[in-house]
Structure 1
Amino acid sequence: MSAEYATFGLAPAIRAGGLLAGGDYQVHRDFVDFIVDGHPLLFSLSDLDAVSPLASDVPPAIFTDRVRSLLLETEAPLPAGRYIVYGCPECADLACGAVTAVIERDGEDFVWRDFAWQTDEHADLELNGYHGIGPFRFRGAEYRTALTALLDGDGDGARGTRRRVLLIGARVSLLAKLAAALRTIGVGADIAQDADGVPADELRTYDAVVFGRSAGAGERDAVRRAFAAAGADVPCVDGLAPAVPLLVAQTEHALDRSPPERRRLTDLRPVGDGAEVEVEVTSSCRVRLTAYRVDRFSRTHTRDLFDAVLEPGRHRVPLAPKAVRGEAFVVARAAGTVLVAAVGR
C-alpha cells in the first residue's frame, strides 16, 4: 500500500459543555485527541461535534481495552476491520453517528484508511466516505509508544479524573445554581466564601476558581495566595454577571488549557462601538453566537445571534442592537471551544 509517512501523536482535548438556549445542555468531556502531522485529526472533519474513544471518564478497564484495540491487539469492533475514531459526545451510541476507519498493519507500520461516517455496522464508502482524508501511514514505533504511554499512566493527563472547580462568593443562591448547572454537564463544583484552612492537597484537586461578583478584591487576592502557596497553578475566573449560562461558559473557557493552535476558536472581541464582534477560527467549523443581557432588575435575557459555518480566518459579525443594550455579553461556541466577551453599549 502506498502512502507517505505521517506523524502520530496524542494530546488532551475537551468538548466544552454548557447551558444552551431553550433549556438544553451539552456535557463536558475530556478526551485524548489524535494528532496527525502536528494537527488534531478532528479539525479535518469540519464542524463535527465528537470525541475520540479515549475519554477520561470511561472506566479504566474499558479505556485499556480501547487502547489495546487501536494497537490491534484485539478484534476490530466493527465489520471489515473498522474502528471508531470519533463518536457522539453525549452517549457514544453508533446510531448517533461516528467517524470510522480501517486500521491495519503493513509490516511494522500502522495504516489508517477509508474514513467514513457510519450509523450502523456497515459503512457505505461511496455515499458517506471522507474521500479527502487519509490514508495515513504511521511508523510502528512512534504509534505504539504514544498509545502504550496511556497504559503506563504517562499520557499527559489522558486518564484524568473528573474536572472540579471552586466557587467563591457570598451570594450562595447564585453559586448554588451555578454549581448545580456545572454538575449537570459533568463538572464537579464546591462552594466556599474563602480558602482559609483548606489543606493544600485539597486545593490542588481543583482545576479552576470562579469568583462571584460579591467577592471583594481582598478576598480574591487571599484565595489566589492560598492556591499559590499550595503550588496549584489554576485559572481564576472573575464572574462577569449573575447569569448562570454565562458563568458556565466562562468556566468552560478556563478549563480549556490547550494551546491556541489546537483550538477552533481563538479570539472573540467587540469591534468599534460594539455594533459588531470579530471572531477568529483556525479551521472550518460551525460557530454559534449567543447574547446575554442583564437588565436593571438583574434579569437575564438571552438571544441567539448567529449560527453558521465559518472558514479559517477572522470574521466580523453584526450584533442586534436590542440584544446588547446596557450590560451585555456574547458567548461564541464551536465544537470543543467556547469564548466570552463583554459587548454592552
Structure 2
Amino acid sequence: MSGAYATFDLAPATRAGGVLADGRYQVHRDFVDFVVDGRPLLFQLSDLDGVSPLASDVPPAIFTEQVRALLLEAEPPLPAGRFVLYGCPECEDLGCGAVTAVIERDGEDYVWRDFAWQTDEHADLERNGYPGMGPFRFRGPEYRAALTALRDGSAAPRRRVLLIGARVAVLARLAAALRTIGIGADITQDARGVTAEELRGYGAVAFGRAVGPAERAAVLRAFEQAGAEVAAVDGLAPIVPLLVAQIEHALGRGPLPRRLLTALAATGTTADVEVGAACRVRITAYRLDRLHRTRTEEVFDGALEPGRHRVPLDPRAVRGQAYVVARTAGDVRAAPVVGGQRRRARPTVTGGERG
C-alpha cells in the first residue's frame, strides 16, 4: 500500500457539558483528540457529538489498554480489524453509534482506513461509510512517539471549580448542576482559608456579581501564591445554565484555533457567531423578568459553515437583562445581549394626579 504521509499528533479536547434548555443535563467529558495534518479529526466529522477512547475519566488500566490498542499491541475490539475512534459521550455504548476505522501496519507505517459510522459489530461501508475520509498513512516513529508519551503519563485535567459569592442558594444550585455533569464544585466565602494544595486542584474560580474588586483580587492572589494557574469567571447573572456555560468555556482545554466556537456577541436584534469548522450550533436566550424569574428560549438550531454568521434574534426573547449561550457538540460560549430592548417603566402616580 502506498500513499502520501499525513502528520499525526494528539491534543486535549473537551465535550462541553451543560444544562440544556429543556432541563436535561449534558455530561462534561475531557479527552485526547487525534490531530491529523494539523487539524482535529473530530472537526472533519461534521456535527458529531463524540469523544475518543482516550478520555480522562476512564480508569488508568483501561486508558492504557486503549493506547495499546491504537499501537496495535492489543486485539481490535471489533471484527475485521476495526477500532472505535469516537463513541457516545454519555454511555460509550456501541448501540448509540460510533465512528470506527481499520487500523493496520504497513511496514513501519500505521494506516487508518475505511472510516464508518457503526451501531453493531459489523460496519456497512456502502451505507454508513465516510467517503473522502482517509486513508491516512502515518510515519511509525511519529505515531508511536505521540501515543507512547501519552501512555507513559500526562497530567490529569483539573475539572474542579471554586464558587465564591453572596447568594448561597444560587451557588448551591450551581454546584449541584456542575456535579451532575461531571465537574467538581466547592463553595466558599473566603479562599484564604483554603490550603495551597487544594487551590492547585481547581481549574477555575467563579465569582458572583456581589463579590467586590478587592475580594476578587485577594482570591486570585491566593491562587498565585499557591502556584496555581486558574481561569477566573465573572458570573453574568444568577441564571444557573448561563453560569454553567461560562464555567464550561473557562475549563475548555483546547487552544483557540482548535475550538469550534471562536467568537460570540449579541445585540437586541442579532447574535454574531464565528465557527472554525462546519458544525451544528444551538443558541439559547436567557433573560430575567420583572420578578427575577429565568425565561429561556431556543432562538437558533442549525448547521453553520466555517466563518462568521449573523443570526437574527426575536427582540421579545432578549428584552431587558438578557444573555445568549451558543453551543456545539464540543464547545460552548456565553455573552450578554448589548443594547437590548428595555422594559417599559411601571407607571407611577404623582401627587398632582391623586384624586
> Following TM superposition, by how much is the alpha carbon of 1:161 offset from its aligned partner in structure 2, in angstroms?
5.2
Q: Distance in 1 between matches of 2:34 and 2:152?
A: 18
Counting only pairs closer than 5 Å after superposition, residues 118-137 of structure 1 correspond to structure 2 as 118-137=118-137
Aligned to 1:37: 37
Aligned to 2:190: 194
Aligned to 2:348: none
Instruction: State whether residues 115 and 129 of structure 1, in contact with CA within 8 Å, keep that contact through their aligned partners in structure 2.
Output: yes
For 1:159-214, what per-residue CA distance to the aligned partner results, in whole angstroms no more than 9, with x for missing partners? x1561000001211110000000000000000001211221111110000011122
For 1:43-100, what per-residue CA distance to the aligned partner results, in whole angstroms no more than 9, with x for missing partners? 0000101000000000011001100000001111000000000000000000000000
Instruction: State whether residues 266 and 324 of structure 2, in contact with CA within 8 Å, keep that contact through their aligned partners in structure 1.
Output: no
Q: 2:250 aligns to what SS in structure 1?
A: helix
Q: Distance in 1 between matches of 2:235 and 2:290?
A: 17
Residue 300 of structure 1: which of 291, 294, 299 is its match?
A: 294
1:147 counterpart letter in structure 2: L
Aligned to 2:114: 114
Counting only pairs closer than 5 Å after superposition, residues 322-337 of structure 1 correspond to structure 2 as 322-337=316-331
For 1:1-42, what per-residue CA distance to the aligned partner results, in whole angstroms no more than 9, with x for missing partners? 122100101011100000001111100000000000111000
In the alignment, structure 1 residue 61 sits paired with structure 2 residue 55: no
Identity value in percent: 73
For 1:297-337, what per-residue CA distance to the aligned partner results, in whole angstroms no more than 9, with x for missing partners? 22100000000000001000011111100000000001211
Q: 2:172 aligns to what SS in structure 1?
A: helix
1:109 counterpart letter in structure 2: D
Instruction: State whether residues 161 and 185 of structure 2, in contact with CA within 8 Å, keep that contact through their aligned partners in structure 1.
Output: yes
1:283 counterpart letter in structure 2: A
> Following TM superposition, by how much is the alpha carbon of 1:243 offset from its aligned partner in structure 2, in angstroms?
0.5
Instruction: State whether residues 242 and 298 of structure 1, in contact with CA within 8 Å, keep that contact through their aligned partners in structure 2.
Output: no
Counting only pairs closer than 5 Å after superposition, residues 78-93 of structure 1 correspond to structure 2 as 78-93=78-93
Greater Cα offset, 217-226 or 31-40: 217-226
Q: Distance in 1 between matches of 2:51 and 2:281?
A: 18
Q: Distance in 2 between matches of 1:193 and 1:328?
A: 27
Q: Distance in 2 between matches of 1:138 and 1:161?
A: 28
Counting only pairs closer than 5 Å after superposition, residues 134-213 of structure 1 correspond to structure 2 as 134-153=134-153, 155=154, 157=155, 160=156, 163-213=159-209
Larger radius of gyration between Structure 1 and Structure 2: 2
In the alignment, structure 1 residue 259 sits paired with structure 2 residue 255: yes
Q: After the TM superposition, list the runs of 4 or more consecutive aligned residues in structure 1 that deviate by more than 4 angstroms.
A: none
1:47 counterpart letter in structure 2: D
Counting only pairs closer than 5 Å after superposition, residues 16-55 of structure 1 correspond to structure 2 as 16-55=16-55
1:301 counterpart letter in structure 2: R
Q: Distance in 2 between matches of 1:239 and 1:282?
A: 26
Aligned residues: 339
Aligned to 2:74: 74
Residue 314 of structure 2: which of 287, 298, 320 is its match?
A: 320
Scaled by the length of structure 1, the TM-score of the pair is 0.97
For 1:237-257, what per-residue CA distance to the aligned partner results, in whole angstroms no more than 9, with x for missing partners? 111111100000000010013
> Following TM superposition, by how much is the alpha carbon of 1:270 offset from its aligned partner in structure 2, in angstroms?
2.1
Aligned to 1:282: 276
Instruction: State whether residues 260 and 331 of structure 2, in contact with CA within 8 Å, keep that contact through their aligned partners in structure 1.
Output: yes
In the alignment, structure 1 residue 270 sits paired with structure 2 residue 301: no
> Following TM superposition, by how much is the alpha carbon of 1:232 offset from its aligned partner in structure 2, in angstroms?
1.2
Scaled by the length of structure 2, the TM-score of the pair is 0.94
In angstroms, what is the RMSD of aligned CA positions? 1.0
